[in-house]
Structure 1
Amino acid sequence: MRPVFLILLFLTKFAHAQKPEGGLKSYLQPAVFSVTMVMIHDVVNPPAATRFYTYCMMGAYEIVAQNNSQIVSPTAFIRSIEPFKVESPVAYNYQIAALYCILETGRVILPSGYMLEEDQKKLIIALLREGHSQKEINVAVSVAQDVAKKIAANASTDGYLKLSTRLRYRPKKGEAYWYPTPPGYIEGIEPHWKTIRPMMIDSCNQFVPKPPVEFSKDSTSQFYKLAREVYEVGKKLTEKERFIASYWDCNPFAINTSGHMSIGFKKISPGGHWMNITGIATTKAKLDLDKGIMVHALAAVTLMDAFISCWDEKYRSSRVRPETVINRYIDPKWQPLLQTPPFPEYTSGHSVISTAVSETLTYLLGDNFSFRDDTEVIFDLPTRDFRSFRQAAEEAAISRLYGGIHYRDAITAGQLQGKELGQYIIEKLKNNGVKPVI
C-alpha cells in the first residue's frame, strides 16, 4: 500500500468519525485514533507506543474523575501519577476539556505531536457546529492545556528521557542468544525498557516467567523440536493460518526489499491494535464519554505495564529467534511468513500484552463480549469477528507461531505471564472501587 493512500484512508476515517452523532462521546475514538496516526507516522516502537497512549489518556481520565464522583481517580491506584488539582477560575465543560486533553497531551509528548494541531482545529469546528460557544470551548481548552503540561511533567520523570543516555545494547555471544535478523538487521529495540517506571505493577520483574527451554542443537532435544515445529508449521500453513498471522502482524518495522532497494511499510503497533479494539467495544457498549475514557485509560495502563514486564524477560534471556536457528541448523533458505521483529524472542510480546489487556477488558465489559474488529482495514485486510476479548487474545498469541517468529513455549509462557499481570491489575481495580461498566 502506498503511503499517500494510507494517509488518505486515515483522514477519511477521522473525518467520518467526527460527524456529531451521539454527542461528545462520538469524538473519543477519533481522538485516540488521531494519536495512533501520529505514532504510525513516527514509527514508534511497540513498548513506547503504549507509554504514549497511557499518558495521553491519563489527563483526560483525571479531568473526568474530578468532575464525576462515580469515576475513581487513577491517582487512587496508579502510584506513578502524582495527584494534582484540575483548576479553572470559572466553570468549564469538563468533557470537552477531557477530549481536548487527549490531543493536547499527544501534541506535547509525541515526536511529531504538532501533527495533532490540525485534529484539534477539526474538533473545535465540530463542537461549534454542535452548538457549543467559542467561550465555552476556550475555557475547556485552557484547562486541557494546563492538565497536559502536568501530565507531560510527570511523564518526564519515568525514565524514558534517560534511555538514550544508556549504553548501546550488544547481543550476547553464543548460539543460544538473539542476533539481529534479516532483512534489516536492526539492532535490539528498547533493551533498557525495564527501567521505565511502571503504572500499576510493583516492578518490572514482578511476573518473571519460568526460564525458556534450554538451547540445544541435538535433534532429539526439546529445543530442537520447538524449532522444528516452527519450521514444519511454516511450510504447511493453511490460508486461514496465513491470514491470522498477517492480521496480527502489527510490526512497525516491516521492510520490503527488491534488489538493493529497501522500502519500509508503516503499520500499527500491537498496543495500537488493542486500543482500537477498545474504542470499538466502548462504542458498541454505548458507554457514556466518562466511562469510555476510563476504559481506554485502563486498557492503555495494562498494555504499558505488560510491555515493561515482557521486555524485562526478553533482554534477560535474550533468546535466539526461530529464523536464526532454522537457517543455521535446519534449512538455510527458510523464511518466516512474517518478518522477525528486532528484539529477543522470549516471551512473546503479543501473547503477553494481548492476554493481559483481554483480562482487563473482560472485567470491565464482560466475558463473551462479541465485536467486529476493523483495525486492519486500512492495511487492506477485512474486518474480523470475535466472540470475546479472550478469543481475540488467543488468536493473537498463536498467530506468532503461524508467522514463524516465536516458538510455542514463548507463546504459552507469555500467555501465563500476561494473565497473571492482568489479574493483578483487576484485583487492584476491585480493591479501589473500580467496577465493571456494563
Structure 2
Amino acid sequence: MLLLISLFSGCKEKQELSEQDFAIKWAEMTLFITKNTPSNSPTYSSRCLGYIGLTMYESIVNGDSTYQSLAAQLDGLDSLPKPQKDKKYDYKLALNAAQATILKSIYNQTSDQNKLKIDSLEKAIYENYSEKIEDKLLIDRSVSFGKAVANAVFEWSKIDGGHRGYLKNFDKKMVYPHKLGSWKPPLYGQSFSHYPLHPHWGENRTFLVQNHQIPDPTIIPYDTLPNSAYYKQFLAVYQQEKALTQAQKEAAIWWGDDPDETFTPPGHSYYLATLVIKKSKPSLIKCAETYAKVGMGVADAFINCWKWKYKFFTERPNTYITQHIDQRWESFWPDPPFPAFPSGHAIQAAATATILSSLYGEKFSFTDSSHVGRKRDELRNVDFKARHFESFWQLAEETANSRFYGGIHVPQDNQAGLEKGKVVAENIIQLKWKK
C-alpha cells in the first residue's frame, strides 16, 4: 500500500521501481491476500502459492536467454502460451498483468475490497512503468501475454483435485479408521470442527510426477509398554513440556502461523523467500525462479504430507499421554484438526530450506521479523520476538522443533517431515530450469 501512496502522491518524480520490486510487490500482495481471505487453510494456501509462483516464472521466462519454460515438465501441463517470434515484449508488464490475474482467479473467494487492492497495485505498477514506453502496441501485447499465461495456468489448476478446496475443508461423511493409536478429534484444539481438515488432499495432483512417487516414510508401530520405542516418543514430549524454557515457548508460538491470524505456514515460507530476495537483490528471473520453486515445493510437500497423514492416521500426544502417562496433561499449543504423522510444518520447512540453500548457499544469515508487533500471547506469557538464523536448515529444524515444544508432534513426526521435505525439494531443483 505504501507503493500505491508513493506512486500517486503527486510528487514531481515518481518512485523508480527496482528490478526486484516487480516480484517483491506481488509477493507481498500475495501474502496480504493469503492472510486476509476467509476459509483459508495451510493446505489450500500451499496450492495457491504453487500456482502463483509458477505463473510469475512463466510470465517472464521467455525473455531470458538462459532459462526455459517448465511446460511439458510438470504433470499434465503440456504447453503454455508462447510469445510471437517476430514481436517484442516487455516481460515486466507481462509479470504485472499475470500476477494480478492469477491472484484474483486462484483466490476467487477473497473479498471485493481485496480484489480492488490487487487492481490498484496492478494499475500503479503499470502506470509507473509503462509511461516510459512509447510503443503502445508493445505494451498491450505484453499485458495480453501475461494474462494469457495466467489464464492457462489457472485452467490447468482446475483439474488438480484442489480447485475451490475452501468449500470442502471438512468431510462430515468420513468414516474414521478404528485401530489402536488412531487420531481422534481433540478436546483442546485449534478448530471447533470435530472432523479432520481436507482428508482427500493427498489425492491431489502434484506439480511433479516424481513427487507423486515418493516412497512412504517409516513409522514406529503402536505400543503401550513403557520400554517400547513408541511409548518413548510420547514420553519425550511429556518431559519436554515439563521443562520448556522461555526461548522454546517463543519458538513454539512464532511458528504456529494459525491461518485465522497469519499468512499460514506455507505463506511463512513465501515470506522467507521475499526476505532473502530483498537481501540478495538477484535478477528478476532468479526472483521468479525462487518464488516458483518455493511455491511448488510447499504445495507438493503438503500433498504428500496429507497423503501420509490419512494413510497412517496417527494420534497426537494429547490423546496418548492422557491415556498412558498423565491423565491431566495438556500440550503447550492446541492440537490442529488433522492426524499427526508426518509434521506439515517440518516437511514444508525442509522443502523451503533445501530450495533456498540451492539458490543462495547453505550459509545465509537473516532475521525473520514476520510476527514482530503482534499482540503478546497473554495465555502463554510469551512475546513475539524476531528469530535470527545463520542458515536455512537451522530455520527448518527450529520450525520442526517448535511443534515438539508445542506438544503436538512426537520426534518421529518431525524427522519424517524433514527427510521427505528434502526429497520433494530435490525433485523440483532437478527440473530443467535452464537451457
- Tell me the TM-score normalized by structure 1: 0.85
- SS in structure 2 at match of 1:387: strand
Q: Secondary structure of the residue that 1:190 maps to in structure 2?
A: coil
Q: Identify the range of structure 1 (135-144 vs 35-44) with the bigger mean alpha-carbon deviation.
A: 135-144
Q: Distance in 2 between matches of 1:45 and 1:14?
A: 29
Aligned runs of 1:388-403 on 2, under 5 Å? 388-403=391-406
Tell me: CA distance 1:298–1:15, structure 2 relative to 1, closer, same or farther (3 Å): farther
1:143 aligned partner, one-letter code: F
Q: Which moved more, 1:172-181 or 1:237-246?
A: 172-181
Could you tell me which runs of 5 or more consecutive residues in structure 2 were left unpaired when the two chains were aligned.
Answer: 9-13, 376-383
Q: Of 236, 259, 262, which residue of structure 2 is paired with 1:229?
A: 236
CA deviation profile, 1:301-329 (whole Å, cap 9, x unmatched): 11111111111111110000111112233
What secondary structure does 1:83 align onto? coil
One-letter code aligned to 2:205: R
Q: Deviations over 1:59-111 (max 9, x none)?
A: 22112111212222122532343312234796432112113312210101213
For 1:196, the equivalent position in structure 2 comes to: 204
Superposition pairs for residues 104-183 of structure 1, below 5 Å? 104-113=101-110, 114=112, 115-130=114-129, 132=131, 135=136, 138-161=140-163, 164=168, 168-181=173-186, 182-183=188-189
Residue equivalent to 1:317:
312
Instruction: Verify: 1:39 aligned to 2:34, yes or no.
Output: yes
Alignment match of 2:91 (pick from 50, 75, 94): 94
Work out whether residues 353 and 418 of structure 1, in 8 Å CA contact, stay in contact via their aligned partners in 2.
yes
Preserved contact between residue 70 and residue 433 of structure 2 (Cα < 8 Å): no
Q: What corresponds to 2:353 in structure 1?
A: 358
Aligned to 2:80, which of 77, 84, 95?
84
Of residues 324, 328, 332, the one that matches 1:333 is: 328
Separation in structure 2 between the aligned mates of residue 352 and residue 420 of structure 1, nearest angstrom: 10
Call closer, same or farther: CA 1:378–1:148 in 2, change over 3 Å.
farther
Is residue 2:311 matched to residue 1:304? Answer: no
8 Å CA contact 1:63–1:86 kept in 2: the answer is: no
Q: Which amino acid aligns with 1:52?
A: C
CA distance, structure 2, for counterparts of residue 17 and residue 178 of structure 1: 52
Q: Distance in 1 between matches of 2:275 and 2:50?
A: 18
* Number of matched pairs: 409
Is the Cα contact below 8 Å between 1:207 and 1:420 reproduced in 2?
Answer: no
Give the C-alpha shift of residue 53 in structure 1.
0.9
Change (3 A) 1:17 1:320: farther
Q: Do the aligned partners of residues 155 and 332 (structure 1) sit closer, same or farther apart at CA in structure 2, a change above 3 Å counting? A: same
Query: For residue 56 of structure 2, what is the amino acid of its counterpart?
Result: A
- Render the CA deviation track for 1:278-320: whole Å, top value 9, x for unaligned: 0111121111222101111111111111111111111110000
1:386 alignment partner, SS class: strand
**Cα RMSD after superposing both structures:** 2.8
Task: Give the alignment's TM-score, normalised by structure 2.
Answer: 0.85
CA spacing shift, 1:168–1:375, aligned 2, 3 Å: farther
- Distance in 2 (CA, whole Å) between partners of 1:234 and 1:13 is 44
Cα distance in 2 for partners of 1:14, 1:333 equals 53
1:379-436 CA-partner distances (Å, limit 9, x unpaired): 353332211111111111111100111001111122112223323333x23xx2549x
Distance 1:24 1:203, change over 3 A: closer
Alpha-carbon distance between aligned partners in 1 of 2:6 and 2:264, rounded to the nearest angstrom: 23
Structure 1's unaligned 5+ residue stretches are 1-10, 253-264
**CA 1:133/1:378 → structure 2, altered by over 3 Å: closer, same or farther?**
farther
CA distance in 1, matches of 2:39, 2:19: 30
Structure 1 distance, partners of 2:360, 2:70, is: 18
Alpha-carbon distance change, 15 to 302 in structure 1, aligned in 2, over 3 angstroms: farther
- Distance in 2 separating the partners of 1:247 and 1:235: 20
Change in Cα spacing, 1:284 to 1:186, as seen in structure 2 (3 Å) is: farther
**Contact 2:211-2:300 at 8 Å conserved across structures:** no
CA distance in structure 1 between the aligned counterparts of 2:295 and 2:311, rounded to whole angstroms: 25
Letter paired with 2:412: D
Q: Which range moves more in the overlay, 370-379 or 136-145? A: 136-145
Q: Secondary structure at the match of 1:385?
A: strand
Partner of 1:7: none
Q: Choose from 412, 419, 422 the match for 1:419.
A: 422
Whether 1:287 and 2:282 are equivalent positions in the alignment is: yes
Q: Work out the CA distance in 1 between the residues paired with 2:131 and 2:245.
A: 54
Distance 2:182 2:142 in 1: 52
Structure 1 residues 88-97 or 243-252, which shifts more?
88-97
In structure 2, what is the Cα distance between the partners aligned to 1:102 and 1:130? Answer: 16
4+ long deviations beyond 6 Å:
12-19
Between 347-356 and 128-137, the greater mean CA deviation after superposition? 128-137
The answer as to 2:224 corresponding to 1:217 is yes
Shift of 1:242: 0.4
CA distance in 2, matches of 1:14, 1:270: 27
Q: Deviations over 1:104-131 (max 9, x none)?
A: 1010121334423323323422442456
Q: Within 1, Cα distance between the matches of 2:278 and 2:374?
A: 22
| Cα 1:374/1:99, change in 2 over 3 Å | farther
Query: In 1, distance between residues paired with 2:174 and 2:277?
Result: 40
C-alpha separation in 1, matches of 2:213 and 2:5: 43
Q: Does 1:250 find its partner at 2:245?
A: no
Residue 172 of structure 1 and its aligned partner are, at CA, apart by: 1.6
Name the counterpart of 1:384.
Answer: 387
SS of the aligned residue for 1:336 comes to coil
